[in-house]
Amino acid sequence: MPQLGLLPGRAWTVLLGLLRPPPGALCIRAVRSHSQGTRDLSPQQMVVREKILDVVVSCFKRHGAKGLDTPAFELKEILTEKYGEDSGLIYDLKDQGGELLSLRYDLTVPFARYLAMNKVKKMKRYHVGKVWRRESPTIVQGRYREFYQCDFDIAGQFDPMIPDAECLKIMCEILSGLHLGDFLIKVSDRRILDGIFAVCGVPESKFHAICSSVDKLDKISWKDVRHEMVVKKGLAPEVADRIGDYVQCHGGISLVEQMFQDPRLSQNKQALEGLGDLKLLFEYLTLFGVAEKVSFDLSLARGLDYYTGVIYEAVLLQTPVHAEEEPLNMGSVAAGGRYDGLVGMFDPRGHKVPCVGLSIGVERIFSIVEQRIKTFGEKIRTTETQVFVATPQKNFLQERLKLIAELWDAGIKAELMYKNNPKLLPQLHYCENMGIPLVVIIGEQELKEGVIKLRSVASREEVAIKRENLVAEIQKRLSES
Amino acid sequence: MPQLGLLPGRAWTVLLGLLRPPPGALCIRAVRSHSQGTRDLSPQQMVVREKILDVVVSCFKRHGAKGLDTPAFELKEILTEKYGEDSGLIYDLKDQGGELLSLRYDLTVPFARYLAMNKVKKMKRYHVGKVWRRESPTIVQGRYREFYQCDFDIAGQFDPMIPDAECLKIMCEILSGLHLGDFLIKVSDRRILDGIFAVCGVPESKFHAICSSVDKLDKISWKDVRHEMVVKKGLAPEVADRIGDYVQCHGGISLVEQMFQDPRLSQNKQALEGLGDLKLLFEYLTLFGVAEKVSFDLSLARGLDYYTGVIYEAVLLQTPVHAEEEPLNMGSVAAGGRYDGLVGMFDPRGHKVPCVGLSIGVERIFSIVEQRIKTFGEKIRTTETQVFVATPQKNFLQERLKLIAELWDAGIKAELMYKNNPKLLPQLHYCENMGIPLVVIIGEQELKEGVIKLRSVASREEVAIKRENLVAEIQKRLSES
């Protein structure tokens, strides 16, 4: 089967355009493509995805999370005013009479809506599902208009930083479990960033604009960010320089201590609260054995409006493949933070439910793993078939059908060729191509003697087994392998 | 947590309306509801769903199917002219610039589009995913505007009726595996139905209208169907009576033989082809050991336009709960058929790929199983937590955090209370409520002696275990249970 699932929609349009009959031909059809920025997942990709999601979901369940599912679309009003500048990326449904609907943009807002609607005050949930964003798709980076998110969130009023530390522990477990190479989790706090802006003299009206400039520090240099602040956003140069002193700092718990001593920042109440929480966080991360994976990074800003406290973002530290290859800039592979105000926005009386959570960027992880598989030429089995039912002779369809039904009924994964009189060689080739380990062969000789031939595809060894012992023998072999 | 996930959207609107502050109050918010005809799946429902999907997907994999995923939306033109009268139920996306898109209506059309687009001539695939239809939701029957479909299809040119028989075998395996009580699969063939219409004297222009009348025979009596045919659709009464003689017949292989002898029907080439295939089908079903579950039913019509050969539909024969209860009319729980022309509609040159497949109506099955759980008061665990880390004393958070990280790192599913100084009783109550089997307890005494107390929640027995042996002991206990 052609492996073209990763081609962008536009390439398909061109490709299929070439194949179309000329205008006026009898059979004029529209371009048979999928929509731009989306893709089909081929069986190979599905296997990779299933393995990755299994690591992620196992970890969520290890931490006691319950599953939850919400509809693909929400009432439009649920999503408005939650995503700041990015609201233009929301897909709306056509007004066909009835309610105005939009496809969900993330899994966090539907979770908050669920909590408020059901008056749930406490919940640890995970959700794996698709979300949709009208972005210009830059597919090389693993960005699509439809993609999976894997979210874990803890809602409820608890003693400070215990759930927050668990979220970071979960990120470490998942990134280690996926063997993506070394990684680092940058952590900061919205209150510290706001405190820095305040003590540096940023006018409050410019907090948001300056925050979004800081957010670019992982892509462009401080010099360029400073230029943007001063020239584009009208900040006084000395204010920008003061910010620069801060946001270029990163380190561990010692940087937290240093900031506590900072003569200006230590005057800001919000910043002190954030620093106090970060100190506690590092204490817990040390107990969890993951503190060395976490860096306090004052350049971390995170775009979304709804964060209110600690924020974090995991980045891979090296390319996962050979050193001599072009490094892939995969951006962050996991992120999250605390959002204590979002649920209250959906509650008629504004009752708040504090929340903290994380989202695993599985699409980027898919891309990395797919790239690695391509590089190493790894072969992936797309089926789990254990036994193939074959015959070397004509007129054995009836026997094959009876036999395979017996295997299926015993829970054995089995296939046969949908032909009345297949030749033996293509049947054996199919097993080799598909990685099927066992073949049972039935022919005239076997039927007469009441036996079946059992063949190992790898060793090509064949043994005759009594028909009535076949299922037991296959189950024994499968349990040993 | 309140179990309100099944309330229809309208009930929510009313309920939340009552809770909203009066107009003019400071905090006026929109109704915080989900959209009509959709629902959230609560953790309890997610567990039920996961178990049902596991039975379904395991069966698909046992039959050698590969996984495939397609986007939630397709180009609008892909879906047009595929669903006959039901096309009005398709959800369109708003035109926000770019392509015209629609949410997928089933998984069959995207599969056919995938095959044509990738020039795949042969494929056995399964697909579990959501589809969307703008129906007036009648939630009591398990019908929603967003729902899951589980599809298995075999594409390719093969010897007749072998894949078709496998599809029916799969339906039997799944319905038996889900323990839904007795069931029956009705089978017929589009060509036989067309043949009957032809020999009874239905004008070809009325085939479609008369077919849709026949389709109602599982809901209304023949008398009412006949009335509709004659009065509403203008069929001659004697033609209707001739049809009635046929469509009230159902039986096994013997009815196929009887129809072969039928003086009128045996003159129709199409009908003879269909009958020949059904005869072969019953032969294979006998070899598969499922023939007694299948009935040749001439009243079966199936709405969708794209079927070209054998069609089938599985119905439950009795309510799954006690006999004295109101019987639930759940309609069909699985259906499918052969569609040899659909792929060709997407191929620029019209190349055909014959297909046959089935769809499991999991939403109805969810409803039945949920109903049964409610009736029997069955308790469902919504988490898989194996161990709870507790303390009877103050100031043991550090020890608890170190301990639980050790458990997580050993792959043990563990939870603790997010409190600095929790009381012991609520910790133990939580375990009983959540069905967590083991508790490890650490306090001053244990810390001094280098031991941990391990408590079985069911028996309330406690033993002291050396700290360094704890993980091994827990793993031993979990593997035994």
Which CATH number is A438's domain given? 3.40.50.800
Query: Residues 183..242 of B with a Cβ closer than 8 Å to A: which?
Result: none
Token reading at A434? 């598909």
What's the confidence (pLDDT) of residue A10? 35
Residue B275 region by backbone torsions, left for phi larger than 0, else alpha for psi between -120 and 50, else beta: alpha
A438 known ligand binder:
no
Residue A6: pLDDT over 60: no
d(CA A39, CA B232): 46
Of A355, A376, A397, the one marking the end of a domain is A376
The mean of the pLDDT values for chain A is 88
Residue A272 class from Cβ within 10 Å (0-12 exposed, 13-18 middle, 19+ buried)?
A: middle
pLDDT in tens, B41-100: 999 999 999 999 999 999 999 999 999 999 999 999 999 888 876 788 999 999 998 899
Assign A12 a pLDDT band (cuts: 50, 70, 90).
very low
Instruction: Count up the domains in chain A and report the number.
Output: 2
Q: Does residue A366 sit in the same domain as residue A440?
A: no
Does a structural domain hold residue A170?
A: yes
How crowded is residue B407: how many other Cβ atoms within 10 Å of its Cβ? 22
The partner residues of B183 in beta bridges, in order of sequence, read: B316
d(CA B330, CA B318): 10
Of B376, B409, B441, the one marking the end of a domain is B376
Pick the closest to residue B156 from B171, B148, B166, B144 (CA basis): B166
pLDDT in tens, B205-243: 988 889 888 988 888 899 999 999 999 999 999 999 999
The mean of the pLDDT values for chain B is 88
pLDDT in tens, A83-121: 876 788 999 999 998 899 999 999 999 999 999 999 999
Q: Does residue B139 sit in the same domain as residue B194?
A: yes
DSSP-derived pairing of the beta strands A123-132 and A101-103: unpaired
Q: Which residues contact B60 (CB under 8 A, 6 or more apart)?
A: B126, B150, B152, B170
d(CA A306, CA B332): 45
CA atoms within a 13 Å half-sphere pointing along the CA-CB vector of A427:
24
Of the given ranges (A6-20, B162-176, B319-333), which has the lowest mean pLDDT? Answer: A6-20
Token reading at B62? 């046992």
**Three-state secondary structure call for residue B389:** strand
Q: Does residue A296 sit in the same domain as residue A438?
A: no
**What's A189's domain CATH number?**
3.30.930.10
Q: What is the DSSP string of B44-103?
A: HHHHHHHHHHHHHHHHHHHTTPEE-B--SEEEHHHHTTSSGGGGGGPPBBP--SS--EEE
Distance of residue A402 Cα from the nearest chain B Cα, in angstroms: 5
How crowded is residue A20: how many other Cβ atoms within 10 Å of its Cβ? 16
Q: Does residue B296 sit in the same domain as residue B403?
A: no
How crowded is residue B328: how many other Cβ atoms within 10 Å of its Cβ? 17
> In this structure, what DSSP letter does residue B420 have?
S
pLDDT in tens, B269-288: 999 999 999 999 999 999 99
Residue A47: pLDDT over 90: yes
Residue A331: pLDDT over 80: no
Q: Does residue A309 sit in the same domain as residue A419?
A: no
Chains A, B: CB contacts within 8 A come to 281
Contact present, B287 and A406 (Cβ < 8 Å): no
Does a structural domain hold residue B38?
A: no
CA atoms within a 13 Å half-sphere pointing along the CA-CB vector of A200:
24
Query: Residues 52..91 of B with a Cβ closer than 8 Å to A: which?
Result: 61-75, 77-78, 91
Contact present, B35 and A99 (Cβ < 8 Å): yes
Residue A89 CA, chain-centre distance (Å), reads 19
d(CA A335, CA A312): 5
Q: Does residue B54 sit in the same domain as residue B159?
A: yes
What's the confidence (pLDDT) of residue B325? 59
pLDDT, average across residues B24-33: 44
Q: Does residue A361 sit in the same domain as residue A396?
A: no
Residue A31: pLDDT over 50: no
Of the given ranges (A28-42, A307-321, B101-115, B301-315), which has the lowest mean pLDDT? Answer: A28-42
Contact present, B421 and B384 (Cβ < 8 Å): no
Contact present, A440 and A451 (Cβ < 8 Å): no
Per-residue exposure over A282-305, b if at least 16 CB sit within 10 Å of its own CB, e if not = bbbbbbbbbbebbbbbbbbbbebb
Q: Does residue A369 sit in the same domain as residue A434?
A: no
pLDDT, average across residues A280-301: 95
Residue A41: pLDDT over 70: yes
**B311 — phi, psi (to 5°)?**
-130, 150
In this complex, do A1 and B123 lie within 8 Å of one another by their Cβ atoms?
yes
Q: What radius of gyration, in Å, describes the C-alpha atoms of chain A?
A: 29
Residue B481: pLDDT over 90: no
d(CA A452, CA A68): 48
A194 known ligand binder:
no
**Three-state secondary structure call for residue B336:** strand
Query: Is A426 in CB contact (< 8 Å) with chain B?
Result: no
Does a structural domain hold residue A308?
A: yes
Assign B331 a pLDDT band (cuts: 50, 70, 90).
confident
Token reading at B417? 């209370």
Known binding residues of B: 106-108, 133, 149, 153, 302, 306-307
Residue B19: pLDDT over 50: no
Domain that holds residue B441: 387-480
Pick the closest to residue B150 from B320, B364, B344 (CA basis): B364
Q: What radius of gyration, in Å, describes the C-alpha atoms of chain B?
A: 29
Taking CB atoms and an 8 Å cutoff, what residues of chain B touch A382? 66-67
Residue B10: pLDDT over 90: no
What's the confidence (pLDDT) of residue A163? 98
Mutate which of B95, B418, B434 to test chain A, going by most A C-beta atoms within 10 A?
A: B418
The partner residues of A189 in beta bridges, in order of sequence, read: A310
d(CA A87, CA B171): 45
What's the confidence (pLDDT) of residue B309? 96
Does a structural domain hold residue B12?
A: no
What's the confidence (pLDDT) of residue B306? 86
Query: Is A25 in CB contact (< 8 Å) with chain B?
Result: no
In this complex, do B287 and A401 lie within 8 Å of one another by their Cβ atoms?
yes
> In this structure, what DSSP letter does residue B232 have?
I
Does a structural domain hold residue A29?
A: no
d(CA A411, CA A405): 10
Contact present, B256 and B298 (Cβ < 8 Å): no
Pick the closest to residue A271 from A189, A192, A190 (CA basis): A192
Does a structural domain hold residue A121?
A: yes
Residue B265: pLDDT over 80: yes
pLDDT, average across residues A204-223: 88
> Among all chains, which residue has been given the structure tokens 């994999």?
B61
Three state DSSP letters for chain A: CCCCCCCCHHHHHHHHHHHCCCCCCCCCCCCCCCCCCCCCECHHHHHHHHHHHHHHHHHHHHCCCEECECCCEEEHHHHCCCCHHHHHHCCEECCCCCCCEEECCCCHHHHHHHHHHCCCCCEEEEEEEEEECCCCCCHHHCCCCEEEEEEEEEECCCCCCHHHHHHHHHHHHHHHHCCCCCEEEEEEEHHHHHHHHHHHCCCHHHHHHHHHHHHHHHCCCHHHHHHHHHHHCCCCHHHHHHHHHHHCCEECHHHHHHHHHCCCHHHCHHHHHHHHHHHHHHHHHHHCCCHHHEEEECCCCCCCCCCCCEEEEEEECCCCCCCCCCCCCCCEEEEEEECCCHHHHHCCCCCCCCEEEEEECHHHHHHHHHHHHHHHCCCCCCCCCCEEEECCCCCCHHHHHHHHHHHHHCCCCEEECCCCCCCHHHHHHHHHHHCCCEEEECCHHHHHHCEEEEEECCCCCEEEEEHHHHHHHHHHHHHHC
Does a structural domain hold residue B343?
A: yes
Sheet with A123-132: list strands edge to edge: A66-67, A123-132, A146-155, A355-360, A332-338, A310-316, A183-189, A294-297, A250-251
What's the confidence (pLDDT) of residue A98? 84
* B19, B29, B284: residue with CB nearest A401: B284
Assign B7 a pLDDT band (cuts: 50, 70, 90).
very low
Residue B254 CA, chain-centre distance (Å), reads 33
Extended beta strands in B331-394, E state: 332-338, 355-360, 387-390
pLDDT in tens, A352-388: 999 999 999 999 899 889 988 888 888 899 999 999 9
Residue A20: pLDDT over 50: no
Contact present, A385 and A415 (Cβ < 8 Å): yes
In this complex, do B27 and A65 lie within 8 Å of one another by their Cβ atoms?
no
Mutate which of A75, A78, A113 to test chain B, going by most B C-beta atoms within 10 A?
A: A75
d(CA A212, CA B439): 47
Token reading at A423? 């030749």
Q: Does residue A469 sit in the same domain as residue A333?
A: no
Query: Is B100 in CB contact (< 8 Å) with chain A?
Result: no
What's the confidence (pLDDT) of residue A332? 86
Query: Is B21 in CB contact (< 8 Å) with chain A?
Result: yes
Pick the closest to residue B372 from B332, B322, B324, B315 (CA basis): B322
Q: Does residue A93 sit in the same domain as residue A139?
A: yes
In this complex, do A39 and B78 lie within 8 Å of one another by their Cβ atoms?
no
Residue A266 CA, chain-centre distance (Å), reads 39
Residue B425: pLDDT over 70: yes
Q: Which residues contact A449 (CB under 8 A, 6 or more apart)?
A: A464
d(CA A444, CA A395): 10
> In this structure, what DSSP letter does residue B288 have?
T
Residue A29: pLDDT over 50: no
Residue B433: pLDDT over 60: yes
Assign B323 a pLDDT band (cuts: 50, 70, 90).
low
Assign B36 a pLDDT band (cuts: 50, 70, 90).
confident
What's the confidence (pLDDT) of residue A22? 37
What's the confidence (pLDDT) of residue B396? 96
What's the confidence (pLDDT) of residue B21? 35
**A3 — phi, psi (to 5°)?**
-95, 70
Q: Does residue A179 sit in the same domain as residue A297?
A: yes
Contact present, A62 and B408 (Cβ < 8 Å): yes
Torsion of CA B211, B212, B217, B219, to 10 degrees: 170
Mutate which of B74, B391, B408, B415 to test chain A, going by most A C-beta atoms within 10 A?
A: B408
Q: B412 to chain A: nearest residue by CA?
A: A62
d(CA A111, CA A117): 10
Q: Does residue A366 sit in the same domain as residue A461?
A: no
Residue A17: pLDDT over 90: no
Assign B141 a pLDDT band (cuts: 50, 70, 90).
low
Does a structural domain hold residue B5?
A: no
